[in-house]
Amino acid sequence: MNIKNKLSKTNLVFLIILLIVALSLVFYIFIMKDLPNPSQFENRKIAESTRIYDRTGEVLLYEIHGDQKRTVISPEDIPMSARQAVLAIEDQTFYDHPAFDIKGIIRAFISNLTNRKIAQGGSTITQQLAKNSFLTSEKTITRKIKELILAIQLEQKYNKDEILNLYLNQSPFGGNTYGIQAASQAFYNKNAEDLDIAESALLASVLQAPTYYSPWGTRTKELFDRKDYVLDQMKKLGFITEKEMEAAQKEVLKFAPKSTGIKAPHFVLAIQEYLNNKYGESFVETAGLKVITTLDWKMQQLAEQAVKDGAERNRDLYQGYNAALVAQDGATGQVLALVGSKDYFGDPEPENCQPGKDCRFEGNFNVATQGLRQPGSTMKPFAYVTAFQKGYTPSTMLFDLPTEFAASNPSCPLNVDYTNENAECFHPQNFDPEFKGPIDLRNSLAQSINITSVKTLYLAGLNETLKTASDFGITTLTEKNRYGLSLVLGGGEVKLIDLVGAYSVFAQEGVKHQQTMILKISDSKNQTLEEYKNTNNRVMDAKYPIYINDILSDIEARSALLSSSLSLTLFPGHEVAMKTGTTNDYRDAWVVGYTPNFVVGVWAGNNNNDAMQKQGGSILAAIPTWSAFMREAIKDISPATFSKPEPILTKKEVLNGGFDINFQIGGKNYPQIHDILFYVNKKDPQGPYPENPQNDSQFENWEVPVLKWARENISDFDLNYNKPLPVGALNQTDSSDTQSIDISWISPKNGEFIKTVNSIAVNAEIAANFEINKIELYLNDVLINSWQQSFGKKAILLHNFVPSAVESQNMLKVKVFDPIGNSLEKSIILFK
């Protein structure tokens, strides 16, 4: 029995060994059967390049990895600094290990196990050479074993110096540049043998991710940081001295111009980054994709010329070195033109500046898609449209007066002192040093009045306005605690491409079309990988963006702001809305203009945030560039008109354009002049009057300057105005009996200037919710004329007169009566 058992155990062991050998043989055959011959380096198949086209599919914009550009050079032509830089960053123990690094493999195994995916490979230079030459980049165990076997075979065939030489001659350095000689010529326009330490370190830095670290790409800061790290490692390994390291880190590297075999470079590189992120860089470089983009090549050329000319003009006039432009089809979300800087291939400016640090212009940085810049007043429409959605109207009256918005802070006096620079205080100034006094939201937005826009943001709500901006497509305003009421003055940072997309929602009356730069992607077998679909959704009821479009397209309303530049915003046959924006210190200048189906945004400034000089703001630095492009591009855009808003009448006079408001209670008149918070709960403006308006934290801050203004401009204010109202009387009145009027002043406009010798032409449209029996016109409370007849509920007032005298500030008032003598009135302010 014992002998029999021993034989059985021996047979079992033999069978197990035989099975293991058989399985190993099968696995080895499986692995080895498709393994290439490592001696055949020059017989590899050339990968098929990816081609990127314009929207017609006829204009080739760029080829990713076309024919590989490679010049094989001998070991003696490869400088020692290049060898050492590659060893320092890629494989520091290259000369000490066999084809593989056990420690690296263990380290990668632990990392992959921790992350539950194959993320690290622990590859030596020999393994990288095997992979790059014969294998794919797929992250599988089988591929890794093949890589190890090939690496071992390579080390058996070649010595270490030969392998390093092959590696430096074979490795990709981005695009279609292969090998250190081609890379040296492409990067520095010199032979590899002439590379210095800093240049060698930068080339070695690129090897890990050539597209990501491209010196002509958008990650130059990361590239230079990695270059400095390579130099540090070279010093630690004893390859260079500390003095050599410091000198190399300080050296300003000058790159050769990138090959001009690329059109619309900022647009194309944004496409390439999208492709790499979605499909993987290796796949994009070898799969032979055909990419049809949304780019209109004719429009792109116009955009590039306009940006270049505009930036050169700004540099000479305002020390503003750069500009960017994005044009989008509002009805589809398709980006038609994109220019990220004035010249993608241009040398950094000023001369000898350090890229990524203090350059006012860097051509390869894409301001349009990556620049985070303060948007100035281009943020204002988002606050206004949110206020309209909340129940405020374009006729809502506010006061443009010096106002301190830091509530209940003894360091911030309500009598504003503009020399007070206490950071706890917030008392913004207007672009125009004049204060308008009473002004409605329509003119406040059209003339870009800062003080009343801050008030509008407060009424609309910061959180609600940020939500609107996000719903419209602004992706970067995520730190609400940092912005506060300065948001409408550009307190956050946005991207130009996002801002253009968000304004397209205004153009499309509340419908957001998903922004896209690609129409179709197909592979080498003509199989469609993805194709454009007009994905859209409504993010706001149409009537509120219609108010914004009506205001921003009002030429008369914006004329006071633009003055002599108004003609640059007029395009015969086309209705164009527009909004400008300038940061307080002139670091950024913006304009976004649009028709119902075409949106164009321009930014001007300096990459390093240096301020422009001589008040180089949006009107002077951005509008000329925008206008030059629009004037040509709009020729191919079909004319379209904006929808007109319906007239609005509410039960509160302050929302209908009144600031001198008379309440008739118990047969008595109670004329009142207050800021809006006296009349509305900011969260429900059309709801009940507030019982205790002083409970609002901003009430006193807004009210004090209004009362001061009223005493200075209305002679009988203390005698006849602001008598205490009966407690609760306003909310006890039957709202259905409340009379209201709406007056649209065609001319003159609130805040206009007049002269004694000139005739004042009054043109006003009056709408009421009662029968109009009589109309009276006053200037400074002096009756100019009256008309009595049955007008119905609408009337047009046309009257010319020459004032006998004018003050520095004048009140033009219309008083409207019903058949039994009850009256309501509306006023505007005119300046001498």
pLDDT in tens, 77-124: 999 999 999 999 888 888 887 766 666 555 555 555 555 444 444 578
pLDDT at 491: 86
pLDDT at 281: 87
CA distance 811 to 752: 11
CA distance 706 to 714: 12
Q: Is the pLDDT of residue 234 over 80?
A: yes
Token pair 């109202």 is at which residue? 725
Three-state DSSP class for residue 462: helix
pLDDT at 809: 78
pLDDT at 569: 94
Q: Is the pLDDT of residue 461 over 60?
A: yes
Mean pLDDT of the chain: 86
| Mean pLDDT within 159-175 | 84
Query: Considering all CA atoms of the chain, what is the largest pairwise distance in Å, rounded to the nearest integer?
Result: 137
Q: Is the pLDDT of residue 174 over 50?
A: yes
pLDDT at 694: 93
702: which 2 tokens?
A: 């807004």
Percent of the chain with pLDDT over 70: 87
pLDDT at 68: 63
Strands (E) in 627-781, as ranges, are 661-665, 668-672, 741-747, 760-779
pLDDT at 734: 40
CA distance 623 to 617: 9
Task: Name residues whose C-beta falls within 8 Å of residue 347's C-beta, 6 or more positions apart in sequence.
Answer: 254, 363
Q: What does the pLDDT look like over 570-629, one tens digit per residue?
A: 999 999 999 999 997 899 999 999 999 999 999 999 999 999 987 778 899 999 999 999
Q: What does the pLDDT look like over 116-163, one tens digit per residue?
A: 444 444 578 877 777 776 665 666 677 667 777 776 777 777 888 888
| Mean pLDDT within 804-827 | 81
Q: What are phi and psi of 107, to 5 degrees?
A: -60, -40
pLDDT at 169: 83
Q: Is the pLDDT of residue 508 over 80?
A: yes
Q: Is the pLDDT of residue 367 over 60?
A: yes
Q: Is the pLDDT of residue 46 over 50?
A: no
CB-based contact 122:107 (threshold 8 Å): yes
Between 513 and 430, the more confident residue is: 513
**Most confidently modeled range among 141-155, 203-217, 253-267:** 203-217
750: which 2 tokens?
A: 């609130």
Strand-pair partners of 600 = 327, 593
Distance, first Cα to last Cα, the chain:
126
Three-state DSSP class for residue 703: helix
CA distance 504 to 510: 9
Percent of the chain with pLDDT over 90: 51
**Most confidently modeled range among 32-46, 93-107, 802-816:** 802-816
Strand-pair partners of 373 = 494
Q: What does the pLDDT look like over 287-306, one tens digit per residue?
A: 889 999 999 999 999 999 99
